[in-house]
Structure 1
Amino acid sequence: MSKQYEEIKQKLRGSITPVITPFKSNYEVDFEKQSELIEYQLENGTHAISVTGTSGEPSSLTIEERVQVMENAAKTINGRVPFAPGTGSTNHDETMYLTKKAQEMGADAAMVIVPYYNKPNQQALYKHFKTVADSVDIPIIVYNIPGRTAKNLEVETLAKLAKDCPNIIGVKESNKDFEHVNRVLLNCGRDFLLFSGIELLCYPMLAIGGAGSISATANVEPKKVAEMHDAWFNGDVKRAQELHYELMRLNDVLFKDTNPAPVKAALGMMGKIEPVLRLPMDLPSESIQDDIRQTLKDYKLI
């Protein structure tokens, strides 16, 4: 493995916030608000930034907009923390294009999702990820989220990719199967970066040797999510456990509807953004919004 990949593996740890894509009331991307959200993250101890992952509504953006969102984020971050944008798509050529763009703009890594909707078999998934990885000289984090892609990247496939592609350095597992994520580190190696994409598994994944989390909740409460990781890595297991349970109610309410709708509703209530999503996504029901509002009050976020 090259020195470049080893260095980013050491840096890319802790709380990586998948920053939402803010829209104006006319549905245009609000780049000024995006920069403000990133600054809010950095002020509160977030360890790294991602954009245009699930929380960033990539399927609601044009390819040009996705590049612009990545470029604005890279410019705002300006090397202060690692940057790992989501570059995956259901379309192979689009994934190649966006991943190359991430490399051109100096991203530290690219997060590439299992293609959604078309349900490739494991051989096709291997070919897809290997072709993307071979086309760039940038670290790749595979993104496995079977609940939204309708396809699970099996451990054996991921292990073969990790063996055959030196720049595939880790995986974001939004996978509720905890046996699966244990076997990822067993088969891919204990130094393979394992990130949790399931909020209630962020702490448990640290306990089995995970590198951190890429949690939508960090959009709303970045300080405590980052602090949980800091406590764990500093050996304060009790404090990490306390924060895990302290965050649980907020995690629950932010997933009462499809992400990122509750997160955008919450950020709107906090005065951070206009709470706007593009169709076919929309804000949660009034009853869910009432629950979000009360939870934010209880957490003293509003």
Structure 2
Amino acid sequence: MPSFKEAKERFRGSIAPVITPFNEDESLDLETFKKLIDWQIESGSHGISVTGTSGEPSSLTVEERELVMETAKKAVAGRVPFLPGTGSVNHNEAMRLTKAAQEMGADGAMVIVPYYNRPNQHALYKHFKTIADAVDIPIILYNIPGRTAVNLEVETIARLAEDCPNIIGIKESNKDFEHVNRVLLKAGRDFNLYSGIELLCYPMLAIGGAGHISATSNVAPAPVAEIYNAWARGDVKRAQDMHFEMMELNDILFKDTNPSVAKAALGMMGKIKPVLRKPMDIPSEALQKELREVLINYGIELKDEVKS
């Protein structure tokens, strides 16, 4: 296992949060899943994450999440860092999944703020510290207050970064740009900050971010990776241009709850069956029509229609 300092350097760039494909009967479609991972890596994604928000983890059993993680680990085969999402509303489930990630040889784990139950900041500190202390792999915190109904505050993040050497970064799906600036100020400039907000991928690089974990990479992995690549090679104008070029696609993919639009897009592209487990569903026909037009404008080859 590389040192945590080495992990900070290795876990940089566009880490793709890959969707979980299902068959028509809503069973796991693991063969298609492996093909998606190959496509992501071949398209230039710098890392792979699964069973995060885009992977519909709340629609999976714990055993299914472990199976998806194991399948992804084998598919990645060490080509890029593998950072599965192991968080849960249930502390014991998060512990089990994070330990499972370590046992299967994952490079690290991404652990979301528990959703629905809205723990206070001290409770969040104890939750994450207990998980971090139980494993030796790097941990990326995942803050997405729009989904969890509670924000992981800067002071809590900084405390965890100081007290837990293996907590090396955070995915911030937080539209408050002042907050994310203060994360680096308080947790340290070497703390890995990843954008989970599509319109903040480039701005977070500009303040010292380590990269992004963008749902848009499910549909357009190469240009999402190019934002980071351009910045890393010092081509600021190219990074800025890509930032603005991606806006229309970013916007359409979030006109309904993620990953419904991304799955519809991948269905149109012929890469998956556009199936979500209830209570989620694919977008309306009107939004599908709008999506199709946007994908065509981006030069994305379409093959199939998506039914309502």
TM range (shorter): over 0.9
Q: Does the residue aligned with 1:142 lie in a helix, a strand or coil?
A: strand
Structure 1 Cα separation of the partners of residues 197 and 227 of structure 2: 15
Per-residue Cα deviation, 1:188-212 (whole angstroms, up to 9, x for no partner): 0000000000000000000000000
CA distance in 2, matches of 1:65, 1:293: 32
1:96 aligns with 2:72: no
Q: How far apart are 1:151 and its partner, in Å?
A: 0.1
1:88-125 CA deviation, whole Å, 9 max, x = no partner?
A: 00000000000000001111110000000000000000
Q: Distance in 1 between matches of 2:119 and 2:198?
A: 27
Paired residue for 1:124?
123
Letter in 2 for 1:239: R
Aligned length, in residue pairs? 301
1:77-88 residue pairs with structure 2 within 5 A? 77-88=76-87
CA-atom RMSD in angstroms = 0.8
- For 1:11, the equivalent position in structure 2 comes to 10
AA partner of residue 291 (structure 1): E
What amino acid sits opposite 2:234 in the alignment? G
The whole-number CA distance in structure 1 between the counterparts of 2:182 and 2:226 is 27
Answering whether residue 213 of structure 2 is matched by residue 224 of structure 1, we say: no
Paired with 1:11 and 1:31, the residues of 2 have a C-alpha distance of 27
Report Cα offsets for 1:217-254 as digits up to 9, x if no partner.
00000000111110000000000001000100000000
Residue 234 (structure 2) aligns with? 235
**Is there any run of 5+ residues in structure 2 with no aligned partner, and where?**
302-308
Per-residue CA deviations over 1:121-162 (Å, capped at 9, x if unaligned) read 000000000000000001000000000000000000010000
> 1:12 is aligned with what amino acid?
F
Query: Superposed, which structure 2 residues align to 1:171-190 within 5 Å?
Result: 171-190=170-189
Residues in 1 aligned to 2:281 and 2:195: alpha-carbon distance in whole angstroms: 26
Q: Distance in 2 between matches of 1:3 and 1:12?
A: 11
Residue number in structure 2 paired with 1:55:
54
Q: What is the rounded CA distance, in whole Å, between the counterparts of 2:113 and 2:199 in structure 1?
A: 22
Q: Within 5 A, what are the aligned runs for 1:35-74?
A: 35-74=34-73
- Equivalent residue letter for 2:195: S
1:133 maps to: 132
Provide the C-alpha distance between the structure 2 equivalents of 1:29 and 1:3, rounded to a whole number of angstroms. Answer: 32
Structure 1 residue matching 2:49: 3-state secondary structure: strand
Alpha-carbon separation, structure 1, partners of 2:44 and 2:27: 29
Deviation at 1:258, TM superposition (A): 0.2
Pairs within 5 Å for 1:124-203:
124-203=123-202
TM-score in terms of structure 2 length: 0.97
Do residues 105 (structure 1) and 121 (structure 2) align?
Answer: no
For 1:49 and 1:4, the matched residues in 2 are separated by 20
Cα distance in 1 for residues equivalent to 2:230 and 2:2: 28
Deviation at 1:259, TM superposition (A): 0.2
Find the aligned partners of 1:3 and 1:39 in 2 and give their Cα distance: 24
Once the two structures are TM-superposed, the CA of residue 186 in structure 1 deviates from its matched residue by 0.2
State how far apart, in whole Å, the 2-side matches of 1:232 and 1:133 are.
31
Flag structure 1 segments of 5+ consecutive residues without an equivalent: none
Secondary structure of the structure 1 residue equivalent to 2:3: helix
Q: Identity over aligned residues, as a percent? A: 70
Pick closer, same or farther for the CA change 1:3–1:273 going to 2, 3 Å. closer
Taking a change above 3 Å as real, the CA distance of residues 297 and 3 of structure 1, as seen in their structure-2 partners, is closer
* Aligned structure 1 segments of 4 or more residues deviating by more than 6 angstroms: none
Inter-partner Cα distance in structure 2 for 1:149 and 1:112: 12
Task: Give the counterpart letter for 1:227 in structure 2.
Answer: E
Counterpart CA distance in 2 for 1:92 and 1:251 is 32
Instruction: Give how far 1:3 is off.
Output: 5.4
Which position in structure 2 is the counterpart of 1:270? 269
Aligned AA (2:272): I
Give the drift of 1:8: 1.2
Looking at structure 1, the residues matched to 218 and 3 of structure 2 have their Cα atoms a distance apart, in angstroms, of 29
Distance 1:3 1:28 in 2: 36
Give distance in 1, aligned partners of 2:202 and 2:285. Answer: 31
Give, in whole Å, the separation in 2 of the partners of 1:142 and 1:27. Answer: 29
Output the CA distance in 2 between the equivalents of 1:35 and 1:262. Answer: 21
Cα distance 1:3–1:300, how it changes in 2: closer, same or farther (>3 A)?
closer
